Structure 1
Amino acid sequence: MSVITEGRSAVVTGAAGGIGLAIAQACLGRGMRVTIADQDAGRLDRAAEDLRARAPGRVAHFACDVRDPAAVEALRDAAVDAHGPVDLLVNNAGVGRPTKPWAEREAWELTLGVNLWGVINGLMAFVPGMIEARREAAVVNLGSKQGITNPPGNAAYNVSKAGVKALTEQLAWEFRQIEGARLSAHLLVPGFTFTGMTAPGAEKPSGAWWPEQVAERMVEGVGAGDFYIVCQDNEVDWETDRKRIAWAAGDLTEGRPALSRWHPDHAEAFKRFLGG
């Protein structure tokens, strides 16, 4: 039985728009009570107003910078006060800034602060209470294919999402060690998705998924008990994703240069691998 069901309680960060808002809508559509959080208080107020019109009495909202542990603890308290024990935590808040490994310190600090420390702060604030409640509960952390295949050009974002992957794998293992616990951890890995972060003010590219498609894939994956909930899009199918991931791992096991997929000496070999 999935925790995403009528009468249960969810908290979603980064939910003033994009994937977070779509996840909140999907949870409300299944009868859950939802607390949404975002750093952008104005957008959050508007999102909450819209959600309340659809689901009166089942929506709370709380302005929160996930980089601040005290703010995330206050979010937890507000969510519990509004809707009782938290059954689903979705650590979705994220940012992306182009960075080089040796420059843009402020962008590095912002990206790691939101994307990685925001998740850590969420776990530290919410998970002890979820364990203590002894209820069936789930944690979904937002990963990225960039945290797995590590394409060049956005070092801070890739590092942050690689960290979230490792963190969520550790969380799943720790949950399995708790006798009698009914807790699950999930890594949601979107594909090319049209959101305000990826393309503010632009028209949706034909290859991109809508955020609502990612949200539905999350609901499906949590219900099925999947740890890795990998989304495709309208351009890339699972077989292509699988081969890209396998090639990236092969850089280490086969002794190739780092990021050989983008190395001129290995471009033809990768093309053959992808087509084989």
Structure 2
Amino acid sequence: MDINGKVAVVTGAGGGIGAALADALVAGGARVVLADLKADGVESVAARLNEATPGSAVAIAGDVSRTDQIEKLIAAAEESFGPVDVYFANAGVGGGVDLEASEEDWDLAHQVNVMAHVRAARLLVPGWVERGQGYFVSTASAAGLLTQIGSATYSVSKHGAVAFAEWLSITYGDQGVAVSCLCPMGVNTDMLTGGAPITNETQRRAAQAVTDAGGVLEADEVAAIVLRAMEAEEFLILPHPEVKVFQSRKSGDIDRWLAGMRRYQASLA
């Protein structure tokens, strides 16, 4: 897809990958509706974009795991720019660590990292099928293909995000709906440490496992890779090429891979 002239919604756009995607989209000629739970962050990003390219961005604060909030984003896009062409389900949460994660941690990870994608697709895909064109971009994680040491809630929910993106592509890919799934490792954003100081050993090991496995990219590097992949409508977007190697090893011999992960975990202690 050529994003020039397209209308996009980007969630989790108050910073990190979401803000970088917004920058790249507007630079490429798209108009964007930006969403984030934190109003100050997303409004700041939209103001910066509109200063450089007047009328290019609208900011809306809200919980994008809720259907009514997603409806609000779609309505704002249609009112300001026209029908939504691309939806970036980019908002995400890290969640709790180890088996100490609470029921609330598990529910939050599931709602934001999985169900937010499902609810957006419910609202958009039927219209895209009718129009014969639409694009759903899911931000998952390398943890959704492999497994992150430390956080079960993050790993499990990101596996769910990957699985849902695969299902969307299989089910609607021949009806004009393109799907891409972004699975990075370390990116220099708050998500790398959960946006807060590391307070225990499990969190430290989780962050070290990500940064030691491959290079830490800047968010704008990832955004550029995403837009290039979208031009070719590639499903799996791997900013870190190491992930493809690790995924091959996992699928080739799961028992050996699990044993290796246990050894790697022990080496981080």
TM range (shorter): 0.7 to 0.9
* Aligned counterpart for 2:185 among listed residues 186, 191, 194: 191
CA distance in 2, matches of 1:55, 1:107: 39
Deviates more, 1:241-250 or 1:207-216: 241-250
- 1:214: which partner in 2? 222
Check 1:78–1:226 CA distance in 2 against 1; reply closer, same or farther (3 A cut). Answer: same
Native 8 Å contact 2:148 2:154 kept in 1? no
Deviates more, 1:107-116 or 1:19-28: 107-116
Cα deviation, residue 20, structure 1 = 0.4
Cα deviation, residue 114, structure 1 = 0.7
CA distance in 2, matches of 1:110, 1:257: 32
Native 8 Å contact 1:3 1:88 kept in 2? no
Is 1:159 aligned to 2:156, yes or no?
yes
Cα deviation, residue 209, structure 1 = 0.8
Cα deviation, residue 249, structure 1 = 2.1
Q: Deviations over 1:175-210 (max 9, x none)?
A: 2343xxx321111112310012224489xx893111
Structure 1 residue runs of 5 or longer lacking an equivalent are 233-237, 268-276
Structure 1 segments of 4 or more deviating over 4 A?
Answer: 199-202
Q: Deviations over 1:25-53 (max 9, x none)?
A: 10000111111111111212112111111
* 1:16 partner SS: coil
The one-letter code sitting in structure 1 at the alignment partner of 2:258 is: L
Check 1:58–1:245 CA distance in 2 against 1; reply closer, same or farther (3 A cut). Answer: same
- 1:35-184 equivalent positions in 2, closer than 5 A: 35-101=33-99, 103-134=101-132, 136-178=133-175, 182-184=176-178
CA distance in 2, matches of 1:220, 1:185: 14
Which has the larger Rg?
Answer: 1
Q: Deviations over 1:95-135 (max 9, x none)?
A: 1023234642221111111111111111112222222233x
TM-score of the two chains, using structure 2 as the length reference: 0.85
Native 8 Å contact 1:251 1:260 kept in 2? no
Cα deviation, residue 3, structure 1 = 3.4
* 1:139 partner SS: strand
The one-letter code sitting in structure 2 at the alignment partner of 1:247 is: R
CA distance in 2, matches of 1:251, 1:102: 30
Check 1:137–1:218 CA distance in 2 against 1; reply closer, same or farther (3 A cut). Answer: same
Is 1:4 aligned to 2:6, yes or no?
no
Cα deviation, residue 94, structure 1 = 0.5
The one-letter code sitting in structure 2 at the alignment partner of 1:133 is: R
Aligned length: 250
Instruction: Name the % identity.
Output: 31
- 1:24-39 equivalent positions in 2, closer than 5 A: 24-39=22-37
Q: Which has the higher helix share?
A: 2
* 1:149 partner SS: coil
- 1:272: which partner in 2? none
* 1:141 partner SS: strand
CA distance in 1, matches of 2:142, 2:235: 15
RMSD between aligned residues? 2.4
CA distance in 2, matches of 1:68, 1:257: 41
Native 8 Å contact 1:66 1:121 kept in 2? no
CA distance in 1, matches of 2:253, 2:151: 19
* 1:248 partner SS: helix
The one-letter code sitting in structure 2 at the alignment partner of 1:262 is: M
